[in-house]
A = this chain, B = another copy of it.
Amino acid sequence: MAKRKVGVWLIGAWGGVATTVVVGLAALRKGLSDTTGLVTALPSFAKLDLIGWDELVVGGHEIRETSYAAEAQVLVDKSHVFNEKTLAGISSQLAKFDRNIKPGTLVNVGAKIESLAGPECLKLKKETAAQAVSRLTKDIEKFKTAEKLDRVIVVNVSSTEPPPPDEVREWKWAEVQKSLASKSCPLPASTLYAIAAMQSGSHFVNFTPSVGSDLPGLDELALKQNVLHVGRDGKTGETLMKAVLAPMFAARNLKVMSWVGHNIFGNLDGKVLDDPVNKANKVKSKDHLLTEILGYKPQTLVSIEYIESMGDWKTAWDHIHFQGFLGTPMVLQFTWQGCDSLLAAPLVIDLIRLTEREARRGTSGIMSHLASFFKSPMGTDEPAFAYQFQQLTQWVDRVSGESDE
C-alpha cells in the first residue's frame, strides 16, 4: 500500500495539548509508547485502515514563541509527566515540527490571551479580520504544498476565548462575509481560523469551548467547500464523568437535588480561564449537560480555579446530592485526578484519524457521530456518553462494511 501523507495543523500549536499530541505522535512513530488512551487503537477500529503515526506531518499557528522541547520540559518539571528518555529519543522530530509553526492572530482573542503573545505576533496586531483570514489561509495552503500533503486537518487546541455577541451564533454565511468586510468584525479568532481552514480546503476540528465553526454560516461554508467539521470542547474529565453518571441517576429515577463540581488546575489553560470573561465560555460548556440528561434543572455549581502548584493535573471534586425512595437524601462524591494534556492529546489524535477516514469517504459537513468526544457536540441532541459512543461504534460498523467491499 502506498504511503499516505496527511497534514495536522494545530491552532495553539505550542500549547500543552498540542505539545502532548506532537510528543505522542513522535513517540508512537518511534515505538516508544503503547497506544493506551487512544480510542482508535481499540480492536474494533482495526479494520478501518486509519492513517498511521508515520503518515502525519504537523504544523500550526501559535501566538507565543517557544519550542516543543521547551514546552515538553515545562510539563516534565511542573507536572512530572513524560519519560525523559522518551523526550531525548524524539528531539530531532520535535525540532522539525517546530519549523512549521507560524504566528497566529490576535483578532478578538481578548486581553488575557493577548497578554501571552510574542513579538512576531504583536507585529501583526493591526491586521483586520479579513486580512487575518487571508494570511492564515495562505499559511495552511503553503504547508500543504510544501509538504506535498493529500489533505490537511486543522485542529483548534488553543486557549478559551471570551464569547462573542450572541447574534453571531445565528449568522448565515452571507452575514459572516459581510461582517468580515466590515471594520469592526466581532467574529472570534477561532471562527477566523475555521474559515481559513475551510477556505484552504481543509477540515476543521474544534477541541475548545470557543465558537469555531459552530454557527450556521460556517456549516454552509463547509458544505460549499466539501469539507468536514466538528466540535466543541473535548470531553476529557469532569464532564465526561457527568455524561456517564447523570444517565444512571436518570435511568434509576433518582432525583438529583444538587450537583456541585469544583475544578482546580495550574496550567496555561487554567491561567487564561482565571479571567472571568474567558471562564464564562467554559463553565457554560460544562453545565448544560445535566439538564439535558435529567430532564429537569437541579441546582448546579461549576467552579474552575487556577491553583498554580497543580500544573497540568486537574483535580475535580464533585458532590452529587440526590434523593432516593421515600424522600431519603443520599450522596455520591468523586475526585478525578487526571493530567489534562495527557487526557486530551490522544483524543485529538483520534479525531484527526477519524476525520481523515471520513474525508476519504467523500462526505462533508458536521460529523455528528463524533459526539462522544465533545462536551458540546455539534449535530446531535444525545447527551449521554454511552449512547454517543454507540453512535461511533455504529459508524465503525458501517465503514468497516464499506471497507470489506
Residue of B whose beta carbon sits closest to that of A349: B325
In the complex, what residue of chain B is closest to A372 when comparing beta carbons? B251
- Complex: how many Å from CA A23 to CA B251? 23
Q: Are B39 and A253 in touch, CB under 8 angstroms?
A: yes
**What's the number of copies of this chain in the assembled complex?**
4
Does A83 lie within 8 Å of B327, measured CB to CB? Answer: yes
**How far, in Å, is A293 (CB) from chain B's closest CB?**
12
Q: Does A368 contact B (CB under 8 A)?
A: no
Residues of chain B within 8 A of A326, CB atoms compared: 20, 23-24, 27, 33, 37, 81-83, 86, 342
**Complex CA distance for A387 and B34, rounded to whole angstroms:** 29
Answer yes or no: A380 CB below 8 A from chain B CBs: no
CB <8 Å contact, A255 and B319: no
The residue of chain B having its C-beta at the shortest distance from the C-beta of A335 within the complex is: B333
Evaluate contact between A80 and B329: CB separation under 8 angstroms. yes
Question: Please, which residues of chain B bring their CB within 8 A of the CB of A33?
Answer: 325-327
Nearest CB in chain B to that of A243: its residue: B248
Q: Mark A300-336, 1 if CB is under 8 A from B, else 0.
A: 0101010111100001010101011111111111111
Interface residues of A in 148-172 (CB under 8 A from B): none
**Complex alpha-carbon distance, A27 and B328, angstroms:** 14
Q: Mark contacts of A20-45 with chain B using CB atoms, 8 A cut-off: 1 yes-contact digit, 0 otherwise.
A: 10011001000001111111011000
| A262 within 8 A of partner (CB) | yes
**Nearest chain B CB to A56's CB is how many angstroms away?**
16
- Asked whether, in the complex, the Cβ of B317 is within 8 Å of the Cβ of A307, the reply is no
Q: A248-B244, A258-B308 are in contact. Are A334 and B332 (CB under 8 A)?
A: yes
Pair A253/B24 contact, Cβ less than 8 Å: no
What B residues does A386 contact at CB under 8 A? 247, 251, 384-387
Q: Whole-angstrom distance from the CB of A384 to the nearest CB of chain B?
A: 7
> Would you call A122 an interface residue if the criterion is a C-beta within 8 Å of the partner chain's C-beta atoms?
no
**A173: interface (CB < 8 Å):** no
Check A299 against B303 for contact (C-beta < 8 Å): no
Instruction: Note all chain B residues with C-beta closer than 8 A to A360.
Output: none
- Please name all residues of chain B whose beta carbon is closer than 8 Å to the beta carbon of A42 when the two chains form the complex: 251, 253
A337 on the B face (CB < 8 A): yes
The answer to whether B258 and A39 have CB atoms under 8 Å apart is: no
Interface string of A77-94 (1 = CB under 8 A from B): 000111110100000000
Closest Cβ neighbor of A326 among chain B residues:
B33
* A245 lies within 8 A of chain B by Cβ: yes
Asked whether A346 lies within 8 Å of B325 as measured between CB atoms, the reply is yes
CB proximity to B under 8 Å, residues A322-368: 323-339, 342-343, 345-346
Interface string of A247-277 (1 = CB under 8 A from B): 1100111110110101010000000000000
6 example contacts (A-B, Cβ-Cβ < 8 A) are as follows A20-B325, A33-B326, A35-B253, A39-B253, A241-B332, A324-B339
Given A262-B303, A334-B334, 4 other A-B residues pairs in contact with their CB atoms under 8 A? A20-B325, A36-B324, A36-B325, A247-B389
Which A residues form the contact surface with B (CB < 8 A)? 20, 23-24, 27, 33-39, 41-42, 80-84, 86, 240-241, 244-245, 247-248, 251-255, 257-258, 260, 262, 264, 299, 301, 303, 305, 307-310, 315, 317, 319, 321, 323-339, 342-343, 345-346, 372, 384-387, 389-390
Report, nearest first, the 9 A-B pairs whose CB atoms are least far apart.
A386-B386, A37-B325, A257-B309, A334-B334, A325-B346, A331-B337, A258-B309, A328-B342, A330-B338
